[in-house]
Homo-oligomer: A and B are copies of this chain.
Amino acid sequence: MAKQFHFIAIGRAAIDLNAVEYNRPMEETKTFSKYVGGSPANIAIGASKMGLKTGFIGKLADDQHGRFIQSYLEGAGVDTQGLVTDTEGHKTGLAFTEIKSPQECSILMYRDEVADLYLYPSEVSEDYLKQADYLLISGTGLAQSPSREAILKSLLLARKNGLKIIFELDYREYTWKSAEETAIYYQLVAQQSDIIIGTRDEFDVLENHLGGDNEASVKALFKHQAELIVIKHGVEGSYAYEKNGKVTRGKAYKAKVLKTFGAGDSYAAAFITALVNGESIGTALKYGAASAAIVVSSHSSSEAMPTIEKIKALIAEQDK
């Protein structure tokens, strides 16, 4: 790495309030534990824990929750020079997690007028972006203005300054106005991204029709900037498509599932870390799957992010 950061992530950092008493409806939960949450924050935290140099651009509420997030990110080794404190009274996004059973998880979201969606384009610094090899864009930040424009600006600046762009689709229906609007911004950004990661469902969102086909999806995107596209199919594993036509399949690892939250973030953190470390696509897929298996077995999404050693141990254990 010639630059200061392997990647800078842009988007939301929020609070998860996880049910302390679980395997029941949330109505019967009396106590909640507080963790840092939000896909791009989780990925930056995870990758930092796995050894990468990461930075984060985002906006935090000027309150106790905002200060908790900032200090947690710093503790996890994520550079926070790109963090901005909200001055307009916006609050931190919240996600109350309900775990009725390992298979029945849901989230009660507080995302109205939250601080992360009020990042202004003027608050994105070209000088800061220049210090990274990759820009990681998380789809949810595109859902509303002015965060949308802040991210589009980061995209224009990244392209201008030669950063490669990783687009983690991270689709959260809650914050979007319409499926059509989502598809428009997802396509605009995907057409300018080098690496695109998402579930099959998320690629359907990008294409705005159900039941899409991987071959067709990657064919359309390879006409533009993309070099590597990862499409995840849950427990059936995932596929990495390269522009040169190569396809690699990765399997999922077994886990003692406590809840399903955090799987995608831990997958992305580990997959990207492997790539940056020069591992093969096949190995990167293993890292992603192993990391996801570890996080779904734990109570949080951020604090449970594994080290490389833990990931390697799980792969060694289950691959033998």
Partner of A32, one of B32, B152, B153: B32
Assess the B91–A121 pair: CB atoms within 8 A: no
Given A26-B64, A31-B32, A98-B64, A149 and B110 contact (CB-CB distance below 8 Å): no
Q: Is A243 positioned at the interface, with any CB of B under 8 Å from its CB?
A: no
A interface bracket (residues with beta carbon within 8 Å of B): 35 or more
Given A184-B149, A187-B156, A188-B156, A20 and B31 contact (CB-CB distance below 8 Å): yes
Q: Is A212 positioned at the interface, with any CB of B under 8 Å from its CB?
A: no
Assess the B110–A180 pair: CB atoms within 8 A: no
Q: Is A63 positioned at the interface, with any CB of B under 8 Å from its CB?
A: yes
Interface residues of A in 23-66 (CB under 8 A from B): 25-27, 29-34, 63-65
Assess the B96–A64 pair: CB atoms within 8 A: yes
Q: Is A104 positioned at the interface, with any CB of B under 8 Å from its CB?
A: no
Separation of A64 and B178 alpha carbons in the complex (Å)? 25
Assess the B110–A63 pair: CB atoms within 8 A: no
Assess the B31–A33 pair: CB atoms within 8 A: yes
Interface residues of A in 114-156 (CB under 8 A from B): 120-122, 145-146, 149, 152-153, 156
Q: Is A108 positioned at the interface, with any CB of B under 8 Å from its CB?
A: yes
Q: Is A310 positioned at the interface, with any CB of B under 8 Å from its CB?
A: no
Given A98-B64, A112-B112, A31 and B29 contact (CB-CB distance below 8 Å): no
Separation of A68 and B98 alpha carbons in the complex (Å)? 13
Q: Is A73 positioned at the interface, with any CB of B under 8 Å from its CB?
A: no
Assess the B29–A108 pair: CB atoms within 8 A: no
Residues of chain B contacted by A184 (CB below 8 angstroms): 121, 149, 152-153, 156
Residues of chain B contacted by A29 (CB below 8 angstroms): 34
Residues of chain B contacted by A34 (CB below 8 angstroms): 29-32
Interface residues of A in 162-217 (CB under 8 A from B): 177-178, 180-181, 184-185, 187-188
- In the complex, besides A26-B64, A149-B181, A149-B185, 6 extra interface pairs with C-beta distance below 8 angstroms are A31-B34, A32-B32, A63-B108, A64-B96, A65-B96, A156-B188
Could you list some 9 contacts between A and B, CB below 8 A?
Answer: A26-B65, A30-B34, A32-B32, A64-B108, A94-B94, A120-B180, A121-B180, A149-B180, A156-B184
